[in-house]
Amino acid sequence: MDFRHTMKGRRALSTVAITTGLLLTVAGCGGGGGGSSDKGALSPSAPARSSAGGGTTPSKTPDSAAPLAEVKGGNGLTLTVTSAKRDEGGFVTVEGTVTNNTGALWVAAEWLGDESELARNGGSIAGASLIDQKGKKKYLILRDTSGRCLCTQFTGGVSQGATTQWFAQFPAPPADTTNVDFQVGSMPPASIQISDGE
């Protein structure tokens, strides 16, 4: 009988000791570091990504670096190219923004292109191309197996005064070709430099 009571007492004492130890450990880890504030501490967080123009999610904020090119159309549109990167898969991804100063809703109808296959893309940048002056070649926008362009679709159009982001993918020119002209609709050609992807 005494043995049983002794074992119960030891178990209770052990439980209290372990619980106290855990509480002290948690309290020590959660402290403010000697009264200093943690307000200035940096905490890692995922970068915020915003969606614009047809549900695309750009990988980079357009104003994070100087644009590669900016051209203005006679109708009040401003086209900016912010990046042109060559990817390992044998294609080039071009990204940028378009600003609508036309005085009305802009639906990108003139940027669609002339090919009947592209008509299913609706208002988009499907008619864009890259022109390699050195190699005397024109690269049309890439499409998936159902004929949809690998590019931004401006669903609902772009409101007056608004700026929206876009992207377009093309077959990659030869590796020694780094300077090309980006052309879409009646916009002037934008001379850009292709960089290697990350």
Q: Domain 62-196: state its class.
A: mainly beta
- Tokens 């772009």 belong to which residue? 158
- Tokens 């960089």 belong to which residue? 195
Q: How far from the centroid of its chain's Cα atoms is residue 135's Cα?
A: 30
- The beta-carbon contacts of 49-54 under 8 Å, at least 24 apart in sequence, are 52/164, 52/165, 53/98, 53/152, 53/154, 53/155, 53/158, 53/164, 53/165, 53/166, 54/124, 54/152, 54/153, 54/154, 54/155, 54/166
Stated pTM of the model: 0.66
pLDDT 10s per residue in the chain (198 long)?
554 544 555 555 455 455 555 444 444 544 444 444 444 433 333 333 333 344 433 444 444 578 999 999 988 999 999 999 999 889 999 999 999 999 999 999 889 877 777 777 788 999 999 999 989 999 999 998 888 889 998 988 999 999 999 999 999 999 999 999 999 999 999 999 999 876
Burial label for 181, CB within 10 Å (0-12, 13-18, 19+), is: middle
Whole-number pLDDT of residue 37: 41
Whole-number pLDDT of residue 123: 86
Domain boundaries of the chain, sorted by first residue: 1-29, 62-196
